[in-house]
């Protein structure tokens, strides 16, 4: 059986440190008039959020089962560098705290909290170096389209299929409106095939209540996959969930996504892998600038 290494576990943690924030709301208001969903950032403000990720992988090969559990809690920030006259915001993304736990069924447990000041265990050094510094700088428009992006620190692609910013529809939309975002991910098997796989993230406005929009999201794999090895490597990219967007402030205030999928035959007829994961992000604060200009600052 190919057991996951510590590097594999850290590779799963790091993408979570570069993901964005999210949301959800309750209640249904079918009589709600059309609404405009758009981001409304202010120059020099800071938006902070907590991220909680839990994952369990159960792998069975030749009658032997191994389980791997990981947990990551982090706190990340968006600093709005500037906003131009058209509402395009330049944002720097950073992470200032992380607590990690990894547990493999036959290897014991490793814990590390960046606030403790302890030296990072072997394999966690890159995480320590990524804290408290800008990881990326992006320019986004009011609909969340990324105009440009510069990675200021080495960051692996997000394993959760996450976009840096939740995309929003243009113009006014009614309840039931749908919009989608195509993606292409490269899936590879160590020592085996490498393939580009097309997926689609579909969003739907489910309800609006108390000025909070509830948006559902699901992932569809568009490329036919007939190789269980490739399918097993794609598990983390197929997820569903809910988003809450506060309309007046132009903020994603909570995002909740989950995965629970199983693939059989990825390493022989008697093999299987099951991946279960949850990701919860919540807005915890937003520090408004002390002196906000009457008109948006121009970059």
Domain ranges of the chain: 6-287
Question: Mean pLDDT, to the nearest integer, of 232-247?
Answer: 91
Q: Which residue has the higher pLDDT, 11 or 87?
A: 87
Q: Residue 266: CB partners within 8 Å, gap ≥ 6? A: 228, 229, 231, 232, 272, 273
Q: Rounded to an integer, what distance in angstroms lies between the CA atom of residue 23 and that of residue 21?
A: 7
**290-to-44, 46, 171, 293 alpha-carbon distances in Å:** 9, 12, 31, 10
At 268, the pLDDT band (50, 70, 90 cuts) reads confident
Helix (H) or strand (E) holding 7: helix 6-13
For residue 19, pLDDT beyond 70:
no
Report the chain's C-alpha Rg in angstroms: 20
| Closest to 219 measured CA to CA, from 165, 169, 247, 183 | 183
DSSP code at position 121: P
Alpha-carbon span 247 to 249, nearest angstrom: 6
For tokens 């195509």, what's the residue?
Answer: 182
CB 228 within 8 A of CB 44: no
pLDDT: which is higher, 247 or 123? 247
Q: d(Cα 112, Cα 114) in Å, to the nearest integer? A: 6
6-287 is a CATH 2.30.230 domain: yes
- pTM of the entire structure? 0.81
Query: How do residues 69-113 score in pLDDT, each as one tens digit?
Result: 999 999 999 999 999 999 999 999 999 999 999 999 888 899 999
pLDDT at residue number 296: 37
């Amino acid at each position: 059986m190919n057991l996951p290494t510590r590097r594999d576990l850290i590779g799963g943690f790091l993408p979570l440190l570069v993901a964005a924030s999210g949301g959800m709301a309750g209640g249904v208001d079918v009589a709600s008039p059309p609404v405009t969903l758009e981001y409304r950032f202010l120059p020099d403000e800071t938006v902070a959020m907590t991220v909680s990720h839990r994952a369990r992988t159960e792998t069975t090969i030749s009658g032997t089962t191994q389980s791997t559990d990981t947990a990551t809690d982090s706190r990340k920030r968006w600093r709005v560098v500037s906003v131009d006259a058209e509402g395009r915001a330049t944002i720097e993304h950073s992470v200032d705290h992380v607590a990690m736990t990894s547990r493999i069924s036959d290897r014991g447990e490793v814990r590390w909290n960046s606030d403790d000041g302890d030296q990072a265990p072997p394999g966690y050094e890159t995480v320590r170096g990524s804290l408290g510094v800008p990881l990326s700088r992006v320019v986004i428009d009011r609909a969340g389209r990324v105009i440009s992006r510069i990675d200021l620190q080495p960051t692996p692609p997000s394993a959760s299929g996450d976009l840096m910013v939740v995309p929003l529809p243009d113009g006014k939309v009614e309840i039931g409106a749908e919009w989608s975002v195509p993606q292409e991910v490269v899936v590879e098997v160590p020592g085996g095939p490498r393939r580009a796989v097309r997926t689609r993230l579909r969003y739907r406005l489910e309800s609006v209540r108390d000025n909070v929009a509830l948006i559902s999201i699901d992932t569809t794999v568009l490329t036919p996959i007939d190789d269980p090895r490739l399918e097993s490597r794609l598990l983390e990219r197929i997820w569903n969930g809910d988003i809450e967007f506060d309309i007046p402030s132009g903020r994603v205030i909570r995002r909740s996504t989950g995965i629970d999928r199983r693939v059989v035959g990825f390493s022989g007829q008697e093999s299987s892998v099951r991946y279960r994961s949850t990701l919860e992000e919540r807005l915890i604060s937003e520090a408004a600038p002390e002196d906000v200009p009457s008109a948006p600052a121009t970059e």
